[in-house]
Structure 1
Amino acid sequence: MEKNKAPQRGLQNRHIQLIAIAGTIGTGLFLGAGKTISMTGPSILFAYLVIGVAMFIFLRTIGEMLYQDPTQHSFLNFVTKYSGPRLGYFSQWSYWLVLVFVCISELTAIGTYIQFWLPHVPLWLIEIVALLLLFSLNTLNARFFGETEFWFAIIKVAAILGMILTALILLLNHFSYTTVLHGQHFNGSVSLSNITYHFQFFPKGVWNFIGALQMVMFAFTSMEFIGMTAAETSNPQQTLPKAINQIPIRILIFYVGALLSIMAIFDWHVLPADRSPFVMVFQLIGIKWAAALVNFVVLTSAASALNSSLFSATRNMYSLAQQHNKGRLGIFTTLSKNGIPLNSLYLVTALALFGPVLTLIPQIQNAFDFAASCTTNLFLVVYFIQLYTFYKYRKSQDFDPQGFLTPKAKYFVPLVFLIFMLIFISLFFSKDTLYPAVGAVVWTIFFGLFSYFKRI
């Protein structure tokens, strides 16, 4: 173990570009879409578009500051710079904690996908084995991480495009099928009428639509990683605008395109809510080899997300230990021979083991929904701080009116704040998300007070 060398950097530009593309495709889409479609029907497309636009504006606020000062690498550094060290301290530790929750939620998703093939193996056992495997991968050098993510990203992007193409082929050939669902025979066909038949904007009520926003938001969280990875390239002022401005077209292709495909293939009214619709639609219409293939793809997506989260949370822990190197935190500043913050990795992996624990708690009906809610809550808290920091930046002397400006910031940034606030409030009106929402408030109050009175 060494203390004086920096963590190894081995990411190349091709890694950055493809990881940025795949970064817009999350487990919230692959696994969470079943629940959101069952709650809102086709109007879920509107929810994805609205939150997608909000996230685009949010990323433009990050991009504007990173463009002006790409040496900062992370938007969290701007919080300290413009909103003060105490708020910076709070947001840095909160963001690290949210990355840990991302690890937990992705781990529960991996267990769900593997049970497709091993339905009799306990979920907690699958999760422990998967975590140990990805922990081992993260002990290797950073370049290996980049290569792993590069190929994970290729599989994920190809899968979405392949599924959309398959839906188009089935649609053009008027594919019909008979399946058994809930013990009854069900006849159907691939058609756009599956989307438009008896269309209602709020088929299960306004509150169900608002309640679905949490999972939609979870599908977009971590997208700020695109801006941070683009800032790591040799010419960030050229790469950053391109990476962020391509997000809207990616949302249309990957999110809206994929959801349209699912609902065109199968009647959304009877689609199971607790399974990945990407897998279920092919299983239900009788193309079982495609269901197995798609399950493998969504499994690699979750593994990719967990791999990235372990990597990011480990580096964040190392950075925090470097900044606040006092007492016991010093052990997290040591590096292995491969340049890996190994003690930080041990800590993050140990905390991720709460994933298997969640599956064993009978009061938690869906461990993935619970972990995803915790993730969304804390992400939103950090995002609120980022929007406040952007306001402070715009008032500072560093503001560059000729830079990569957020469009119509005067109007759109407050609107984004209101959308995020609506999502946060909605978490208190569902029993599945109530406790994580209360936990986020408790964390914000008590750790906020700790950060405020701490000597920094």
Structure 2
Amino acid sequence: MKKINDSQNKMKRALSNRQVQLIAIGGTIGTGLFLGSSRSIALTGPSIMLVYFVAGIFMFMLTRAMGEMLYMDPSQHTFINFITKYLGRPFGFFSGWTYWLSIIFMGMSELTAVGIYFQFWFPKLPMWLIQLAFLLVIMSINLITVKFFGEAEFWFAMIKISAILALILTGIFMLAVHFKTPVGYAGLSNITTAFQFFPNGWTKFVMAFPMVFFAYQGIEFVGITTSETKNPRKVLPRAINQIIFRILIFYIGALLAIMVIYPWRSLDPQQSPFVWVFKLLGISWAAGLINFVVLTAAASALNSVLYSAGRHLYQLALDSSGSFKHHFAVISQKSVPARAICFSALTVAISPIIYVIPSVQDAFSVIASVSSGAYLLIYILTLCAHRKYIDSPDYLPDGFLMPKAKIFDPLTIAFMCFILLSMLFQSSTRPAVIGTVVWIVVFGSYSLAKHKN
């Protein structure tokens, strides 16, 4: 087995197994599960669990492909480096900037969500002030030390996990006592009665896939921690392998609990199922409790965004030259890429300005939706790089091997293409597909021209 080469890694390996495990969980649980579960269930009923399972399997395979390459070379700050190495500089340049911009747009969305959730308690506070103050706190967490970031993310994830486990245990309790709800009794019959795979038609079933895919975005963040993790070849495989079980427990378990308690056709798509489930238990302050949980989830996502964006911008600077490299390829005394983190935070801080100007906000909504399509491009290129890695001299036969890679690499690529096509079924996601094609043509052509030699 090859030795880990840390000669290029100036960052400290300070993240423990406990922290990386929870960072992996945090990367797979967003605000969508707490707020949007009713909407996803309303699309296709109980078969939404199948959608989560199928999408989860392919996202797991994606992380296994990333994990195999990172296991081979844990000194890398980002998986994008493998795209550069195995597909060429134009693809690496395209992927690096596309991924960084996608993360920034994600951060802007999460910062906006933070402002909305915080105004639940303080409606008179200006949105921009809440957002900037919150961003400053999260940026400070990232600037102190990577260990401090890991500890903050650990507790953010613990809050989310506790809320989900509370919901699942509530479902088990209500099922056991045959709990009476305003529309009947808790029981498996709420799922099995008149069960259909496509209760609202096959098009709604297909439309559920992009929604579920977006819920999984960020699952790759665990791989970005590799260069700062203690014993990465021991910790990384364990964290990635447990992702599939977390998907089953947290996503499918929560959805199953919701539909056991309440007939899925009676759900209000505009209301968080977590709120009314806890209200059924007599918790009058359930709305405030779940608002705290989703605020934590948004803070967790923003924390991970700044961590990831900072490392990616640092890597982009390392791979460049001139003043850009001079200014951003710098590690602070705390062993973090402070300038890259600050610049990424400053870019995310544009969000409050965007949401004050309606015409700019409309344009931003279209651009942000394009970033979702861009994520698919990055995932596809990563899988193509993995395929090239398998046939390269770098291949580590005794490493953390992706199972049946020659079968699952093309299958997972096909699934990503299916997600992109399924986005055409909804008017809200259709512009993202068109925008993604335009981005490929315009920025892809620029990348090829810039690195044609």
For the superposition of Structure 1 and Structure 2, which TM-score range results when normalised by the shorter chain?
Answer: 0.7 to 0.9
1:108-147 Cα shifts (integer Å, max 9, x gaps): 3333433444567676664444334323433433332222
Q: Once the 2 structures are TM-superposed, how far is the Cα of residue 393 of structure 1 from its aligned partner?
A: 1.2
Show the counterpart of 1:140: 144
Q: Once the 2 structures are TM-superposed, how far is the Cα of residue 433 of structure 1 from its aligned partner?
A: 1.4
* 1:226 alignment partner, one of 222, 225, 231: 222
Structure 1 residues 370, 281: CA separation in 2 closer, same or farther (over 3 Å shift)? farther
C-alpha separation in 2, matches of 1:374 and 1:190: 41
Q: Once the 2 structures are TM-superposed, how far is the Cα of residue 80 of structure 1 from its aligned partner?
A: 1.3
1:125-177 Cα shifts (integer Å, max 9, x gaps): 64444334323433433332222112112222222212211221122222224
Show the counterpart of 2:60: 56
Show the counterpart of 2:394: 398
Q: Once the 2 structures are TM-superposed, how far is the Cα of residue 284 of structure 1 from its aligned partner?
A: 6.7
Q: Once the 2 structures are TM-superposed, how far is the Cα of residue 207 of structure 1 from its aligned partner?
A: 1.9
Counterpart residue type for residue 147 of structure 1: E
Q: Once the 2 structures are TM-superposed, how far is the Cα of residue 367 of structure 1 from its aligned partner?
A: 11
- Bigger drift between 416-425 and 137-146 goes to 137-146
Contact 1:66-1:73 within 8 A present in 2 as well: no
Q: TM-score scaled to structure 2, two decimals? A: 0.87
Structure 2, gaps ≥5 residues long: 1-8
Show the counterpart of 2:172: 168
Q: How does 1:341-380 map to 2 (within 5 A)?
A: 341-356=337-352, 359=355, 373-380=369-376
Contact 1:101-1:352 within 8 A present in 2 as well: yes
C-alpha separation in 1, matches of 2:203 and 2:358: 26
Q: Does 1:106 align with 2:110?
A: yes
Q: Once the 2 structures are TM-superposed, how far is the Cα of residue 8 of structure 1 from its aligned partner?
A: 6.1
Percent identity for Structure 1 against Structure 2? 49
Q: How does 1:225-244 map to 2 (within 5 A)?
A: 225-230=221-226, 232-244=228-240
Q: Does 1:425 align with 2:429?
A: no
State the aligned residue count: 445
Contact 1:32-1:215 within 8 A present in 2 as well: no
Q: Once the 2 structures are TM-superposed, how far is the Cα of residue 6 of structure 1 from its aligned partner?
A: 4.8
* 2:75 alignment partner, one of 71, 78, 96: 71
Q: How does 1:208-287 map to 2 (within 5 A)?
A: 208-230=204-226, 232-283=228-279, 287=283
Show the counterpart of 1:42: 46
Show the counterpart of 2:412: 416
Show the counterpart of 1:305: 301
* 2:135 alignment partner, one of 131, 138, 142: 131
Contact 2:60-2:243 within 8 A present in 1 as well: yes
Counterpart residue type for residue 443 of structure 1: W
* Equivalent position SS for 2:378: helix
In angstroms, what is the RMSD of aligned CA positions? 3.1
Q: Once the 2 structures are TM-superposed, how far is the Cα of residue 7 of structure 1 from its aligned partner?
A: 5.4
Q: Once the 2 structures are TM-superposed, how far is the Cα of residue 313 of structure 1 from its aligned partner?
A: 0.7
Q: Does 1:20 align with 2:16?
A: no
Contact 2:13-2:230 within 8 A present in 1 as well: no
Q: Once the 2 structures are TM-superposed, how far is the Cα of residue 331 of structure 1 from its aligned partner?
A: 3.0
Q: Does 1:92 align with 2:96?
A: yes
Contact 1:55-1:220 within 8 A present in 2 as well: yes
Structure 1 residues 449, 368: CA separation in 2 closer, same or farther (over 3 Å shift)? closer
Counterpart residue type for residue 424 of structure 1: L
Show the counterpart of 2:317: 321
Q: Once the 2 structures are TM-superposed, how far is the Cα of residue 380 of structure 1 from its aligned partner?
A: 0.5
Counterpart residue type for residue 62 of structure 2: F
C-alpha separation in 2, matches of 1:59 and 1:441: 25
Show the counterpart of 1:293: 289
Contact 1:29-1:216 within 8 A present in 2 as well: no
Contact 2:223-2:236 within 8 A present in 1 as well: yes
C-alpha separation in 2, matches of 1:367 and 1:256: 35
* Equivalent position SS for 1:71: coil
Show the counterpart of 1:153: 157
Q: Once the 2 structures are TM-superposed, how far is the Cα of residue 345 of structure 1 from its aligned partner?
A: 3.2
* 1:198 alignment partner, one of 194, 207, 211: 194
* Equivalent position SS for 1:72: coil
- Bigger drift between 437-446 and 44-53 goes to 437-446
Q: Once the 2 structures are TM-superposed, how far is the Cα of residue 218 of structure 1 from its aligned partner?
A: 1.4
Q: Once the 2 structures are TM-superposed, how far is the Cα of residue 195 of structure 1 from its aligned partner?
A: 2.3
- Bigger drift between 343-352 and 153-162 goes to 343-352
Show the counterpart of 1:182: none
Structure 1 residues 436, 123: CA separation in 2 closer, same or farther (over 3 Å shift)? farther
Structure 1 residues 120, 207: CA separation in 2 closer, same or farther (over 3 Å shift)? farther
Counterpart residue type for residue 103 of structure 2: L
Show the counterpart of 1:181: none
Counterpart residue type for residue 405 of structure 1: L
1:249-301 Cα shifts (integer Å, max 9, x gaps): 11111111011112222333243334433234434775333443233122212
Q: Once the 2 structures are TM-superposed, how far is the Cα of residue 70 of structure 1 from its aligned partner?
A: 2.5
Q: Once the 2 structures are TM-superposed, how far is the Cα of residue 310 of structure 1 from its aligned partner?
A: 1.2
Q: Once the 2 structures are TM-superposed, how far is the Cα of residue 360 of structure 1 from its aligned partner?
A: 5.1
Counterpart residue type for residue 254 of structure 1: F
C-alpha separation in 1, matches of 2:201 and 2:262: 22
* Equivalent position SS for 2:225: helix
Structure 1, gaps ≥5 residues long: 179-186
* Equivalent position SS for 1:70: coil
Contact 1:227-1:243 within 8 A present in 2 as well: no
Q: TM-score scaled to structure 1, two decimals? A: 0.87
Q: Once the 2 structures are TM-superposed, how far is the Cα of residue 10 of structure 1 from its aligned partner?
A: 3.9
Structure 1 residues 6, 395: CA separation in 2 closer, same or farther (over 3 Å shift)? closer
Contact 1:28-1:216 within 8 A present in 2 as well: no
